Structure 1
Amino acid sequence: MRSVSRALGASAVALALAATLAPVAAHAATPAPAPTASASGAPGRVLSVPGLVNARDLGGYTTYDGKTTKWGTVYRTETLSKLTPEGVNAVGALGLGKVVDLRTAPEISADGTDRLPAGVTAAARPVDDTSLFAFIGGVVRSKDPVYQQAQLGNGAAEARMTALYKGFVTNPGNRAQLGAAIKDVANSTKPIAFHCSAGKDRTGVLADTILRAVGVPAPTSEQDYLLSNTLRAASDKALRDQVRAAGYMQNPDLLIPLQEVRSDYLAAFRNQAVADYGSFGDFLTTGLGLTPSDLLKLRSRTVS
């Protein structure tokens, strides 16, 4: 229990929900296999990296015009701050030139900087999490089941997640950082990766925006987004089991809406973008500050 108590200190479940409650939560689960891009031996989507459960390649998706996103070019992961030495070596084998970190400064301070292979550049593009995980930490540390139910039950947790996703659009700072991250991808000359803490929400909307911007149909992009649930299921359950065993929550299932990604959350982001800017295309240009040249470079860089 000592590792549980230590992780439930400062930032508490902020890190727990990012698969860092304890080493067993981060590393115990073997990622469920995901489909390869084709039956003819195309690369597998899920990366086998010690210390990561939610790392994958954005290659192999078919666009509206029949082309395909490139393998080995853009990767999405969770935080790289807890990589094992073997994990660092595995990431090094990807040949990355840059890793884009969407975490905020307090998250990095609590969780640690990324453990990157030599020669890989780190780019900070902090996207606000509305102090969501700090709030969760306080709720969990209260050990009060009545308070926890009031704060997370009866749709309250889902409402907080919906507000988070809308804030990716309505917060000018978030739009600026997401736009800058997309430009990082467009201008990359080597493979590039991006991540937040758990690699599911901020990372998820960034991946969704990139895929749709280069012509991947929205339903296909949504399936990539939802894959986080499959990959994170075992480690998320391990976290809930630890929280219960340590006496922090009688009903840790209250955390499930916060641990999962859901179509409703993604729809809140997509719908807010259209509501504020009129169309997805105008969100890209007016909202995120991407120029036609940026979008052409993004397409050229990621689609073949």
Structure 2
Amino acid sequence: MSLSRRALLSTAGATALLAAVAPPAAAGPRLRAANAIRQIPLQGAVNVRDLGGYLTYDGARVRRGLVYRGDHLAKLTEADLATVAGLGLGRVVDFRIPLEVQYDGTDRLPAGLAAVSRPVTDNGLYGQLLAAIGSRDPVRQEEMLGNGRAAAFMTEVYRTFVTSAANRERFGATLRDLADPGAGPQLYHCTSGKDRTGWQSWLLLNLVGVPESSATEDYLASNTFRAAYDARVREGLKQAGLMRNPDLIIPLQEVRREYLDAALTELRAAYGSLYRYATTGLGLDLRVLAGLRGRLVG
């Protein structure tokens, strides 16, 4: 079950901080129509987007050109490097664990820019996927991923976004970076740019006053941007004889509302509100929360 924004932000401190962006009963069609997701077109990555452009509850807008979300950047072409250089990034944060970096490679970035490694655990997901595919055994793959097991594994991954102290520290550190008034444009990413990156983006948009419905649309948009690429991956696995039924990995390739809800249910159980998760769980003080709004919304 989704948490309402009013429930997520219900504390005295949050009320004081967010009084200027108190939501109406629901976001209307004008608000939805005004939000346009801006993809950064690259050949070597399919899910890099500018997080700016979203309207907040009070009619302000998240500034473009300051925060970018993405999938991994290890396969950027020379043309891609020129595009990324044009973003003027001051920092790139990589949420991937070492196994992912080992398999896909380190980020390929413009000269003078190096990624900050800030690994957020995937709860063993990447290793599980490699083991299943590498077995080439349809029976084992079905046992590992079939009958709802892949989707159940994903919900557990999302719960760790709330339950793991190390994960919370890394999400919090990234939000503190983004609140720094002296920071330049920043990009954060994981492997596919949909789960760890999706949770970070959902948090950020909600914390600066974007309606939960818009933040969730941004989260779910990864399915659109990744669909063609992910379909080619499945077809490649089948053609190579690695998987008889590559559709088993669809729950691992997609984002789903049920995954996001698993994290939100854990958040509500442990903290009661988004504000308490941000302050107690992520270690953000009111100065940081106000800084996010002040720097990113105008």
* TM-score of the pair, normalised by structure 2: 0.86
State how 1:244-255 maps to structure 2 within 5 Å.
Answer: 244-255=238-249
Percent identity over the alignment? 48
Counterpart position of 1:225: 219
206 and 41 in structure 1: CA distance in 2 versus 1, 3 angstrom threshold: closer
Counterpart position of 2:283: 289
Q: Does 1:156 align with 2:149?
A: yes
294 and 41 in structure 1: CA distance in 2 versus 1, 3 angstrom threshold: closer
Of 88, 91, 114 in structure 2, the residue corresponding to residue 95 of structure 1 is 88
Q: Deviations over 1:96-153 (max 9, x none)?
A: 1111111112322332221111233522211001121111111111121122112111
Q: Deviations over 1:171-229 (max 9, x none)?
A: 11000011011111111521111000110100000000000011111111000001100
Letter in 2 for 1:125: R
- Contact kept in structure 2, 1:97 and 1:121, CA below 8 Å: no
- Contact kept in structure 1, 2:37 and 2:53, CA below 8 Å: no
Q: Deviations over 1:30-84 (max 9, x none)?
A: xxxxxxx99x999861111221110111111111122111111111011111111
Aligned length: 268
Distance between the aligned counterparts of 2:197 and 2:135, measured in 1? 29
Distance between the aligned counterparts of 2:114 and 2:136, measured in 1? 41
- Contact kept in structure 1, 2:34 and 2:54, CA below 8 Å: no
Alpha-carbon RMSD: 2.0
Of 72, 75, 85 in structure 2, the residue corresponding to residue 82 of structure 1 is 75
Structure 1 residue runs without a partner (length 5+): 1-36
Structure 2 residue runs without a partner (length 5+): 1-29
Deviates more, 1:283-292 or 1:264-273: 264-273
Counterpart position of 1:50: 43
* TM-score of the pair, normalised by structure 1: 0.84
State how 1:268-279 maps to structure 2 within 5 Å.
Answer: 268-279=262-273
| Partner-residue secondary structure (3-state), 1:100 | strand
Of 185, 189, 194 in structure 2, the residue corresponding to residue 195 of structure 1 is 189
Distance between the aligned counterparts of 1:71 and 1:293, measured in 2? 22
- Contact kept in structure 2, 1:59 and 1:69, CA below 8 Å: yes
Letter in 1 for 2:89: L
Q: Could you list the runs of 4 or more consecutive aligned residues of structure 1 that deviate by over 4 angstroms after TM superposition?
A: 40-44
Distance between the aligned counterparts of 2:114 and 2:291, measured in 1? 20
- Contact kept in structure 2, 1:97 and 1:119, CA below 8 Å: no
In the TM superposition, residue 272 of structure 1 has moved relative to its aligned partner by 1.0
Distance between the aligned counterparts of 2:143 and 2:133, measured in 1? 12
Distance between the aligned counterparts of 1:44 and 1:129, measured in 2? 26
Letter in 2 for 1:160: F
- Contact kept in structure 2, 1:43 and 1:71, CA below 8 Å: no
Q: Does 1:123 align with 2:116?
A: yes
Of 54, 60, 64 in structure 2, the residue corresponding to residue 61 of structure 1 is 54
State how 1:99-178 maps to structure 2 within 5 Å.
Answer: 99-178=92-171
Q: Does 1:71 align with 2:64?
A: yes
| Partner-residue secondary structure (3-state), 1:194 | strand
In the TM superposition, residue 269 of structure 1 has moved relative to its aligned partner by 1.1
